[in-house]
């Protein structure tokens, strides 16, 4: 009996200690925040209840010309007070065409989910606000008033993505007035509005800046992220997270590098053997319903899904079925060794220029891709890293070149490569029911000094720059009136700086491209340094690329974010300063992405987030 009493006493002591610990952590923080002079950083001080300090979240919403907004808008005036409200008290009025209104309803659902996720205990389906009984908070409402003049619900390079957002509080109602020329502008306004809101840790409700006037538009029409899903399969759920984060940073193009020589994970209804031979497994396939889901998922978030089918190289696995089906070799050098002699990385493979049936298959691939991704306004043909040694050591191709009198020197192969490219573009146009869309090509041996305008029509092709940003070729292409997209690897390849996956040491494009390098990479400045005069409209924008030799679902979020956020501000705002003034807001944007379920990488200790500006050099 004495032993039982002793154990019971110990148990009670433990309960009391746990209760005391919980009570300690539920106490209000001894710290508070105020905005520094001239709208400077939020300053942390001991809260004596004399100086009227606020929470960190409230201070970040109201301090400085741009508060917690990312990317920073063209023009913003923010109020210095907040009002509390609950998400169930949101209502709206829409003046827009029916299809636009339908999309806005979906975007509004995303907006409501985003702001609910600011609650530290967010879980889908839970009523997070049931314990809030404060009559002042319960009486407050947020009214959203939309006016969208345009009917366009498909993104193009000409889409007007601008918007104005006015927030005004009168009595118990806060009204957010959104005016835009397109659904996409209105969606961006909703994203901005969600960043004027945060969780109030004192009342448990949400809070919104009481007044704001914002006028905003993007610097570039093309603002993208490339995700390679061939080298390692990336799940639809991970792609959804990527699109969620892109929307939070006003990026508008998801460049889906869906196939490569490593695998062909796209299921084609008319060519099922492509995935049968080319997918890593039966569970690592994108079916038509998956692709169409991703296309719609992106559209309601303001994002086009742009497919890439890279050719004539970076093909291989998936094409092996041709001979046994009477079609001959559709591709050559497939998995050929030693790979260093025939391709840029293992495994090798290039399309067979000598086989006319290859074009039949290519046209069928385009037909289904156009259907899955419809409507398309851009298509990426790839076109990088052709290895002539693959073609000129394949008897079938050298015999074909000789029989047709084409010759066997390098220029002869470049000519036939350009013929292939033109046929490919014609097949794409036919697949798109005769409607020609701009075709994007990686810079390559077809576009080196003096060649691009010999082989390509500047009206039909957009050139995608992936070499270093100081390459003089960029100036030449602009002088020849080619439109360009930047993904110069020395700043915007997100796979750089890791260990080599073939051999030892660092990978080929090291060092690591930090968020600071991503932020400071200005396409217009690069272009200005390389040509005396050019039409700025030829610079369409840029994208960051994640090639996935060393990435899959487990790390895709942290490889892209928050570096992708730095890209977002560069391409939306194109600021005239370097990364340093943006650091505090980026650290907060990273926190916001995590609240929304994005496993973004840490870039500073949390102490830096709570002590603004004190982690700067």
- For 351-379, how does the pLDDT look when each residue is reduced to its tens digit (9 = 90+)? 999 999 999 999 999 999 999 999 999 99
Asked if residue 311 belongs to a domain, the reply is yes
Q: Does one domain contain both 413 and 287?
A: yes
Identify which of 184, 139, 188 has the alpha carbon closest to the alpha carbon of residue 159: 184
Q: What residues in the chain have per-residue pLDDT under 50?
A: 1, 12, 15-25
- DSSP states along 226-247: EEE-SSS---HHHHHHHHHHHH
Contact status, residue 207 vs residue 137, Cβ threshold 8 Å = no
Report the pLDDT value the prediction gives residue 7, as an integer from 0 to 100: 53
Helix (H, G, I), strand (E, B), or coil: what is residue 428? helix
Report the C-alpha gap between 95 and 178 in whole angstroms: 10
- DSSP states along 293-304: HHHHHHHTTT-E
CA dist 198 to 207, 208, 294, Å? 6, 7, 29
Q: Does one domain contain both 264 and 392?
A: yes
Report the C-alpha gap between 346 and 339 in whole angstroms: 6
Q: Does one domain contain both 159 and 87?
A: yes
User: b/e for 395-418, b at 16 or more Cβ within 10 A?
Assistant: eebeebbeeeebeeeeebbbbbbe
Q: What is the DSSP letter of 450?
A: T
β-strand pairing of 163-170 with 212-216: antiparallel
Q: Does one domain contain both 369 and 280?
A: yes
Q: Does one domain contain both 294 and 430?
A: yes
Asked if residue 367 belongs to a domain, the reply is yes
Report the C-alpha gap between 184 and 155 in whole angstroms: 8
From the number of C-beta atoms within 10 Å of its C-beta (0-12, 13-18, 19+), residue 569 rates as buried
Asked if residue 318 belongs to a domain, the reply is yes
Asked if residue 558 belongs to a domain, the reply is yes
Helix (H, G, I), strand (E, B), or coil: what is residue 163? strand
Asked if residue 319 belongs to a domain, the reply is yes
Q: Does one domain contain both 318 and 363?
A: yes
Q: Does one domain contain both 196 and 288?
A: no
Domains: count for the chain? 3
Asked if residue 370 belongs to a domain, the reply is yes
Query: Which position among 199, 314, 380, 609 bears the catalytic label?
Result: 314
Report the pLDDT value the prediction gives residue 20, as an integer from 0 to 100: 45
> What contacts 12, CB < 8 A, 6 or more positions away?
none
- DSSP states along 485-499: EE--HHHHBTTTTSB
Task: Give me the CATH number covering residue 186.
Answer: 3.30.379.10
Contact status, residue 593 vs residue 561, Cβ threshold 8 Å = yes
Report the pLDDT value the prediction gives residue 49, as an integer from 0 to 100: 67
Asked if residue 175 belongs to a domain, the reply is yes
Q: Does one domain contain both 174 and 73?
A: yes
Q: What is the DSSP letter of 350?
A: E
From the number of C-beta atoms within 10 Å of its C-beta (0-12, 13-18, 19+), residue 231 rates as buried
Q: Does one domain contain both 340 and 426?
A: yes
Task: Give φ, ψ of 523 to 5 degrees.
Answer: -55, -40
Task: Give φ, ψ of 540 to 5 degrees.
Answer: -75, -20
Q: Does one domain contain both 459 and 425?
A: no
Q: Which residue, 415, 442, 469, sits at the end of a domain?
A: 442
Report the pLDDT value the prediction gives residue 9, as an integer from 0 to 100: 52
Q: Which residue, 164, 183, 216, sits at the end of a domain?
A: 216
Helix (H, G, I), strand (E, B), or coil: what is residue 180? strand
Query: Which position among 145, 377, 385, 599 bears the catalytic label?
Result: 385
Helix (H, G, I), strand (E, B), or coil: what is residue 188? helix
Q: Does one domain contain both 481 and 545?
A: yes
Task: Give me the CATH number covering residue 376.
Answer: 3.20.20.80
Q: Which residue, 184, 216, 248, sits at the end of a domain?
A: 216
Asked if residue 526 belongs to a domain, the reply is yes
Report the pLDDT value the prediction gives residue 47, as an integer from 0 to 100: 84
Report the pLDDT value the prediction gives residue 126, as an integer from 0 to 100: 78
Query: Which position among 161, 260, 471, 495 bears the catalytic label?
Result: 260
Q: Which pair of structure tokens corresponds to residue 335?
A: 């998995």
Report the pLDDT value the prediction gives residue 3, as an integer from 0 to 100: 53
Active site residue 385: yes
Contact status, residue 355 vs residue 328, Cβ threshold 8 Å = yes
Report the pLDDT value the prediction gives residue 17, as an integer from 0 to 100: 47
Report the pLDDT value the prediction gives residue 599, as an integer from 0 to 100: 98
pTM beyond 0.75: the answer is yes
Peptide bond into 109 cis (omega under 30): no
Q: Tell me which residue range forms the domain holding 417.
A: 260-442
Specify the DSSP element, H or E, that contains 320: none
Q: Does one domain contain both 228 and 207?
A: no
């Amino acid at each position: 009996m004495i032993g039982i009493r002793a154990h019971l006493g110990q148990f009670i002591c433990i309960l009391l200690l746990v209760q005391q610990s919980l009570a300690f952590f539920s106490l209000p923080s001894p710290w508070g925040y105020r905005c520094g002079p001239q709208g400077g950083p939020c300053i942390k001080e001991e809260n004596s209840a004399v100086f009227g300090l606020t929470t960190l979240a409230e201070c970040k919403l109201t301090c400085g010309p741009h508060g917690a907004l990312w990317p920073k808008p063209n023009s913003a005036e923010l109020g210095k007070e907040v009002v509390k409200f609950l998400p169930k008290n949101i209502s709206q009025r829409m003046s827009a065409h029916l299809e636009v209104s339908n999309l806005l309803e979906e975007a509004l659902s995303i907006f409501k989910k985003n702001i609910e996720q600011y609650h530290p205990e967010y879980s889908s389906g839970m009523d997070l606000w049931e314990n809030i009984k404060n009559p002042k908070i319960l009486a407050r409402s947020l009214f959203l008033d939309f006016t969208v003049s345009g009917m366009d619900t498909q993104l193009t390079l000409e889409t007007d993505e601008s918007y104005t957002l006015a927030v005004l509080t009168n009595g118990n109602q806060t009204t957010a007035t959104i005016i835009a020329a397109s659904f996409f502008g209105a969606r961006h306004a909703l994203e901005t509005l969600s960043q004027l809101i945060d969780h109030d840790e004192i009342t448990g409700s949400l809070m919104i800046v009481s007044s704001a006037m914002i006028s905003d538009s993007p610097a570039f029409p093309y603002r993208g992220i490339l995700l390679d899903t061939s080298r390692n399969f990336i799940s639809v759920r991970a792609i959804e997270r990527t699109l969620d984060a892109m929307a939070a940073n006003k990026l508008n193009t998801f460049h889906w590098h869906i196939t490569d020589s490593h695998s062909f994970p796209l299921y084609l209804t008319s060519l099922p053997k492509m995935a049968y031979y080319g997918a890593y497994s039966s569970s690592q396939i994108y079916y038509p319903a998956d692709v169409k889901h991703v296309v719609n998922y992106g559209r309601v978030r303001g994002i086009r899904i742009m497919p890439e089918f890279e050719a004539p190289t970076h093909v291989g696995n998936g094409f092996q079925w041709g001979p046994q089906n009477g079609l001959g070799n559709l591709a050559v050098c497939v998995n050929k060794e030693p790979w260093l002699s025939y391709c840029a990385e293992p495994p090798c493979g290039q399309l067979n220029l000598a086989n006319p049936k290859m074009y039949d298959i290519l046209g069928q691939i385009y037909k289904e891709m156009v259907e899955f991704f419809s409507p398309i306004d851009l298509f990426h043909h790839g076109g990088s890293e052709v290895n002539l040694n693959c073609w000129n050591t394949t008897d079938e191709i050298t015999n074909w070149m000789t029989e047709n009198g084409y010759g066997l020197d390098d220029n002869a192969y470049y000519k036939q490569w350009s013929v292939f490219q033109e046929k490919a573009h014609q097949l794409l146009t036919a697949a798109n029911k005769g409607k020609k869309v701009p075709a994007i090509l990686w810079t390559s041996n077809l576009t080196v000094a003096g060649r691009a305008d010999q082989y390509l029509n500047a009206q039909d092709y957009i050139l995608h720059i992936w070499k270093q940003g100081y390459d003089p070729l960029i100036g030449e292409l602009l002088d020849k009136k080619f439109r360009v997209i930047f993904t110069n690897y020395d700043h915007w390849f997100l796979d750089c700086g890791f260990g080599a996956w073939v051999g030892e040491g660092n990978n080929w494009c090291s060092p690591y491209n930090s968020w600071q390098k991503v932020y400071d990479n200005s396409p217009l400045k690069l272009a200005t340094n390389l040509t005396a005069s050019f039409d700025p409209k030829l610079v369409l924008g840029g994208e960051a690329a994640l090639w996935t030799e060393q990435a899959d679902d487990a790390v895709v979020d942290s490889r892209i974010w928050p570096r992708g956020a730095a890209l977002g501000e560069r391409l939306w705002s194109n600021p005239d300063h370097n990364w340093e003034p943006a650091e505090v807001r980026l650290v907060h944007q990273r926190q916001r992405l995590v609240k929304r379920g994005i496993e973004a990488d840490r870039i500073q200790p949390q102490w830096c987030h709570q002590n603004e500006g004190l982690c700067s050099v």
